[in-house]
Structure 1
Amino acid sequence: MKAQRVEQLDDRWLRVGGVAFFVGLSIYTFKAYEHPFSLATLNLLIESVVNSAATWETDRWILRRFQRRYPALHQARKRLLLAIPLCWLCNVLIDWAVMWVVDVTGFRPPYPWAVYMQTITSGLVIAFLITGIQEALFYFSRLLQAEKEKEQLQKENLQTQLDSLKKQVNPHFLFNSLNTLSYLIGEDAERAEEFLDEMCKVYRYLLRNNENELTNLATELQFIRSYFHLLKTRYGDSLHLDLAIEPSYEQSLLPSLTLQLLVENAVKHNVIHKDYPLTVHISTQPNGLLMVRNNLQKKVQHVASNQVGLSNIASKFNLLKQPEIQVTQTDTEFRVTVPLIQPKP
C-alpha cells in the first residue's frame, strides 16, 4: 500500500530536549555530577549523547514509518502496537552495541552482565516514552491539519457556490436588456441605437464587477445609476429612482450586483405607467442596513421568473455567513433590507 504524505509539526526542539533529558538522566544515574570536569565524566557524556541520540532518532524513524502507512487518527492503537515492540528491540540492541564498544575499546570501565539485562526493562520504558511523546505530537499535528483542510474545503465550496450564483445573473440581465432593445427597435431606431451604446457600457462594467465576491456600496450605486439610465430609456417618467445614502456607509461592502437584482425585481413585478409611476427608493439606515423599497402596484398577469432575484440575494448573504435579508410587504409598499458588511481594517 502506498504511504500517504502527512504534514507534521517541526519537532527539532523536542528531539534536542529528549536527548538532553536522557543525557542528564545518565549523568544523574552514574553520579557524574560529583566530578563534573573529569575525563571520566567527559567520556560518559560522549557515550550518553551517542546512545541517547541513536535511540531517539531510531524510535522516531520507526514510528514515522508507521504514521505514514497508517495516518488516520483512529489508527493510533495499531501504530503503537506495531511500533513499540520494534522500538523496544532496537533500544536494547543499541544499548548492547554501545556497551560492547565501550567494553572492547576500554573507553570506560566495562559493564557487568547484569547491566546488559537491565537494558531489556529500560529499553521498554524508553520505547513507551519516546513513542508516546512522538505520537502525541503527531496526533496534535493531524488535528491541526484536519481543521485546516476542513476550513479550506469550506472556503472552496463557498467560492464554488458564489460563482454558480453569479453566473446566473449575467444571462438574466442580458435577456432583459435584449428584450428592451427589441422593443425599442420597433418603436424608435435612434433611441434603440442610444440604448445599445449604453447597454454595452453597462454590460462591460457588469462583467468586470461580477468577478468580485464583494463590492463597496459606492461602486454599486455608480452601476445602478448607469443601469437605471437604460430603464429610463424605456419607461421614461414612469420610473423614478430616489437615493438617500449616508456618505459614511459608501465604503461598506455587499455582494456584487445586489442592487441591480433588487431594482430589476421591482421593475419586473410592478405596473409602470405614466398614470401609475413606479419609484424605487434606496437608502441607508442608522443601524448599518440598506433598504430598497418601492410602491407596490403588482401586475395582474403572471410574470415569468427564473428564480434569480430575491433567492439569489438571500443565498449570497447566507453563504457569506451574514444576517438574513428582511423582506416586508404591505398593501402599498414592498421593502427589502440587507445588511451592509463592514470592511476589515
Structure 2
Amino acid sequence: MHKHSYKLFRIYGYPGFGLFLYLILVLLNPYERSYNSWRFYKQLDFILEFIFCTTFAAVLFETGIQLTILLNKWYPWETRMKSRFGIQLSLHIAIVYLLLNIFFKYKFPARFEYDELLLRQTIIVGVICSLLVTAVFTAEYFFYKWNDAKLKSLEMEQLTTQAQLDALKLQLDPHFLFNNLSIVTALVEDQPATAISYLVKLSSIYRYMLANRMHNMIPLKDELEFIKAYLFLYKIRYGEGIKVNIKDSTNVCNLCLPPLTLQLLIENAIKHNIFSANTPLNIHIYFPDAESMIVENNKAPKIIQEPGTNVGLKNIHERYRLLSQKTPVITDDQHFFRVEIPLFTSEQNFK
C-alpha cells in the first residue's frame, strides 16, 4: 500500500468538512429549537461550535487514517477483503461512539442545548461518515492496486521486450552469424544432412522468439523444445565442450515460466566459463519438486569476463519480481553455479 502524508487534506479538508458537518447538524435540528438557542449565542459560541465540528471531522478522518495504517500492517487488504472492510468499519464506529459519549458527558451551558437528541444525531452522522471514510480508503486501496498493476504490466512488457531484443542481438551478432554460416558451409559438403538439421533448428529459434514475443509466460515444454534446438547449434560448434543433461520433465511440462529464461541462463554459463572437450561445461537442468526448476553448471571462470555478463540474470530477476513474490534463488559456490527458477501453474494471468 502506498504511503501518504495527507498533509493538504489535513490543512484544507478538516476545516471544510467541519463546516459541512456544522451545516448538517443545524439542518437536523428543528427550526424553532435552533432559532431559540441562537438568540442567546455570542459570537464566540458560533466559533466554538465550528471548532467542535472541525475537531469532530478531524477525529473521523484521522482515526480512519490511523486505522488504515495499523490494519495494513496486521490485517492487510489482500488477506480477506470483506472481513477487513467490516473490521475497519466496526472499529471506526466504536471509536467515534466512545469519543462522542465522553464529549457529551461534559456539562455545557444550557444555551447550547447539547442533549440526548443532539447526541443521537451526532452518532448517526458519525456512523454515516465512518462508512464513508472506510469506503474512501477501500477505494483508495483498489485505485492504487489497479495503478500498480498497470505500471507493473508496462514495466513487465518493457523487460520482456528487452529480453527478446537481447536474445535477438545474440542471434544477430555478426560474429554469431558468421560462425553459423561458416559451420553451415563446412557441413554442406561433408555432412549435408546435418547442415539441413542445423538450418531447421536455426529457423525454429527465430520462429519461437517471434511467436512468444508478446507473452510474459509460456509452458515449460515449449521452452525446453526451444532450448534443445538452441543447444543443437552450440553442440555442432563446440562438440563435446558443452554437455547438457535435461532430466525428465513429464510432471512439470505444463507449468509456466518467462520466455527465454533457459537461454539467458545457458548464455550466462557460456559467457562465464572456459571449457573444452577435455574439460567440458556440464549444464544440468532438473526439477527438485513440482514448483521449481534448477539450472546448474560447473565452474571454470574466465579471467576476463565478456561485456554484458549478468545482464541476463538481472533481467530474469526483475521479470520474476514483477510477476509474483517468488524470485530466483542463486547459489554460487567454489565449484558450482546454481539458479533455482520458480514455476507457475498457469500462464493465463500473466499475458
TM range (shorter): 0.5 to 0.7
TM-score, length of structure 1 as denominator length: 0.61
- Provide runs of 4+ in structure 1 moved above 4 Å: 71-76, 92-96, 119-127, 190-197, 342-345
Q: Is the 8 A contact 1:84 1:127 kept in 2?
A: no
| 1:164, distance to aligned residue in structure 2 (A) | 2.7
The whole-number CA distance in structure 1 between the counterparts of 2:32 and 2:213 is 68
Residue deviations 1:36-56, cap 9 Å, x none?
Answer: xxxxxxxxxxxxxxxxxxxxx
Partner residue in 1 for 2:145:
151
Which of 259, 264, 278 pairs up with 2:281?
Answer: 278
The one-letter amino acid paired with 1:318 is: R
The whole-number CA distance in structure 1 between the counterparts of 2:340 and 2:236 is 27
Larger radius of gyration: 1
Corresponding residue pairs, total = 254
Residue deviations 1:165-212, cap 9 Å, x none?
Answer: 222222222222233222233454375985555333212312332422
* Residues 224 and 94 of structure 1, relative CA distance in 2, 3 Å threshold: farther
Q: Does 1:262 align with 2:265?
A: yes
Partner residue in 2 for 1:161:
155
The whole-number CA distance in structure 2 between the counterparts of 1:72 and 1:251 is 51
* Residues 132 and 217 of structure 1, relative CA distance in 2, 3 Å threshold: same
Partner residue in 2 for 1:185:
181
Residue deviations 1:110-161, cap 9 Å, x none?
Answer: xxxxxxxxx9989855753453233112101111011112222322232233
Q: Does 1:78 align with 2:15?
A: yes
Partner residue in 2 for 1:292:
295
| 1:260, distance to aligned residue in structure 2 (A) | 1.4
The whole-number CA distance in structure 1 between the counterparts of 2:280 and 2:299 is 10
The whole-number CA distance in structure 1 between the counterparts of 2:294 and 2:273 is 18
| 1:288, distance to aligned residue in structure 2 (A) | 3.9
Which of 303, 307, 310 pairs up with 1:304?
Answer: 307
Residue deviations 1:257-289, cap 9 Å, x none?
Answer: 221111111122223433333232101114743
Q: Is the 8 A contact 2:320 2:327 kept in 1?
A: yes
Q: Is the 8 A contact 2:328 2:340 kept in 1?
A: no
Q: Does 1:131 align with 2:125?
A: yes
* Residues 187 and 220 of structure 1, relative CA distance in 2, 3 Å threshold: closer
The one-letter amino acid paired with 2:142 is: K
The whole-number CA distance in structure 2 between the counterparts of 1:232 and 1:240 is 8
| 1:225, distance to aligned residue in structure 2 (A) | 1.4
Root-mean-square deviation (CA, aligned residues, Å) is 3.6
The whole-number CA distance in structure 2 between the counterparts of 1:258 and 1:79 is 55
Structure 2 regions of 5+ residues with no counterpart? Answer: 1-7, 34-112, 189-194
The one-letter amino acid paired with 1:189 is: T
Partner residue in 1 for 2:169:
175
Deviates more, 1:129-138 or 1:195-204: 195-204
The whole-number CA distance in structure 1 between the counterparts of 2:177 and 2:126 is 74
The one-letter amino acid paired with 2:214 is: E
Percent identical: 24
Q: Is the 8 A contact 1:270 1:299 kept in 2?
A: yes
Q: Is the 8 A contact 1:168 1:308 kept in 2?
A: no
Q: Is the 8 A contact 2:251 2:290 kept in 1?
A: no
Which of 211, 214, 218 pairs up with 1:215?
Answer: 218
Instruction: State how 1:30-69 maps to structure 2 within 5 Å.
Output: none
Which of 341, 344, 349 pairs up with 1:341?
Answer: 344
Q: Does 1:325 align with 2:300?
A: no
The one-letter amino acid paired with 1:266 is: A
What SS class does the counterpart of residue 271 from structure 1 fall into? coil
* Residues 133 and 286 of structure 1, relative CA distance in 2, 3 Å threshold: closer
| 1:244, distance to aligned residue in structure 2 (A) | 0.6
Q: Is the 8 A contact 1:318 1:324 kept in 2?
A: no
The whole-number CA distance in structure 1 between the counterparts of 2:183 and 2:252 is 41
Q: Is the 8 A contact 1:235 1:272 kept in 2?
A: no
The one-letter amino acid paired with 2:207 is: R
TM-score, length of structure 2 as denominator length: 0.60
What SS class does the counterpart of residue 247 from structure 1 fall into? coil
Structure 1 regions of 5+ residues with no counterpart? Answer: 1-70, 97-118
Q: Is the 8 A contact 1:288 1:340 kept in 2?
A: yes
